[in-house]
Amino acid sequence: MIALLGGCLATSTAAWAQSTTTSEPTATTERGVGALPPDVVDAAIRLAKTSEQLLASERELADVQKQQEDVRAVLGELDARISTTGDRLATLKASVRARAAEVYVRRGSGPLLPPVIDNRQTLNAGQSYAAAANSVDDAQIDALARMQDRLAEDRQKRVEARDALERTALDLIQTQSDLRRLQADAQQRLNEWGGVTVLGPAALTADQLTAWFESTHVRPNLPAGLQISDLAHLFIDEGELAGVRGDLAFAQSIIETGSFTEFKGYNFSGIGVCDSCTGGLLFDAARDGVRAQMQLLRNYADPSSRAADLPVPLSPVLYGSDPVEAARLFDTFFLKGSAPVWNAMGGGNWATDPNYAGKVLSTYARMIAFVAKAS
């Protein structure tokens, strides 16, 4: 049941259970994600798909930008080779012109090479030398000219490739801008949905939580014998006992533990951890840690919560082993009722991070999107 800020909150587990039975089912029940509004599910799916498309676009843009760098480097090399070839061409042509001018000037007055005997034989020899030298230079000029043409043709292709990459990059940048706008719209819808109460029935089942987690391919660092499926059932079961949404608490633990890779003593929610201290509370078993998390969430969410309303004993690690003192601590919790909705979490409620609730809800949105697509 989704109740926005200002809606009625259950004052006991029994009252909460009674209130949930009067809610009319929504179309999302048929989609396998519980009684969530269809537009919320659609926003979650949009956010997940848009995020995937944005990531793919960013990778494609990075590849295009790398290709642009390569093309620019090749163009630089081509320009250098074209410049060098042009200089060689100019030098050879100048040499041929100078030699031809020398032969023309000396035709009738003296030899070209060697300038020793002034007779017709040496003059003819100079003319023959000039013709032979010119023939060699002409061949080199032709070869260099062909090379210059090939380099120019190659450069034109590179320029066209550079221009095409530039257009592709601009298109990708525009696509990313559009995707970020869609992402922001979907995220805003989910942020508005952040008014969902901490209390209420889970929309996702333990099996769905397990399937989603397995789809992330994260390898949890769990004690021997404890599986993610075991934890998922604990969250749903203990959440139901405390009247708390166990699936959202599971998403909270994903954030707190880095997908169950970093935690100690079955503390899956950072209870007792603070910005200026280390460690945290240590629990004897997984159920103990999950139960403490659910009972603390109940206290944050329900201003009328009382230990006597809970169907199971209070966590002795969190509230102490003396049942009377434990009940007093639970009943007088100084932040009782300060976070009836998830968007009130963070900024001092449970965590100091002002973006805490958004991180939890974004994770939960990915769960919803996965389950909705699989249905």
Q: Which residue ranges make up each domain of the chain?
A: 59-188, 196-374
DSSP secondary structure letters along 18-64: HHHTTSPP-GGGGGTS-S--HHHHHHHHHHHHHHHHHHHHHHHHHHH
Residue 255 CA neighbour count, 13 Å, CB half? 21
The reported pLDDT for the residue numbered 94 is 79
Q: Say how far apart CA 266 and CA 259 lie, in whole Å.
A: 13
CA-nearest of 233, 254, 247, 134 to 200 is 247
Q: What is the pLDDT of residue 278?
A: 65
User: In angstroms, rounded to a whole number, what is the distance separating the alpha carbons of residues 335 and 337?
Assistant: 6
Positive or negative torsion for Cα 347, 353, 354, 359: negative
Q: How many CB atoms lie within 10 A of CB 8?
A: 10
Given this model, what pLDDT does residue 191 score? 66
Q: How many CB atoms lie within 10 A of CB 286?
A: 19
What is the pLDDT at residue 95? 74
CA distances, 133 to each of 52, 90, 128, 329 (Å): 68, 16, 8, 107
Whole-number CA gyration radius for the chain: 39
**C-alpha 340: how far from chain center:** 30
Task: Give the residue among 37, 32, 30 at the shortest CA–CA distance from 1.
Answer: 37
Q: Which residues does 32 contact at the CB level (< 8 Å), separation at least 6?
A: 208, 371, 372, 374, 375
The answer to whether 357 touches 346, Cβ cutoff 8 Å, is yes
Q: What tokens appear for 236 in the block?
A: 């749903």
Secondary structure of 279-332 in the HEC alphabet?
Answer: CCCCCCCHHHHHHHHHHHHHHHHCCCCCHHHCCCCCCHHHHCCCHHHHHHHHHC
What is the topology classification, in CATH, of domain 59-188?
A: Helix Hairpins (1.10.287)
Q: What is the pLDDT of residue 27?
A: 32
Max Cα-Cα span within the chain = 133
pLDDT at 130: 53
pLDDT digits (tens, 9 = 90+) for 255-279: 999 999 999 999 999 998 876 666 7
Q: In degrees to the nearest 10, what's the CA dihedral of 246, 209, 38, 362?
A: 80
What angle, 0 to 180 degrees and rounded to 10, lies between the N-to-C axes of helices 120-192 and 38-106?
170
pLDDT score, position 37: 58
Residue 53: predicted pLDDT:
85
Give the chain's residues under pLDDT 50: 1-35, 108-123, 125
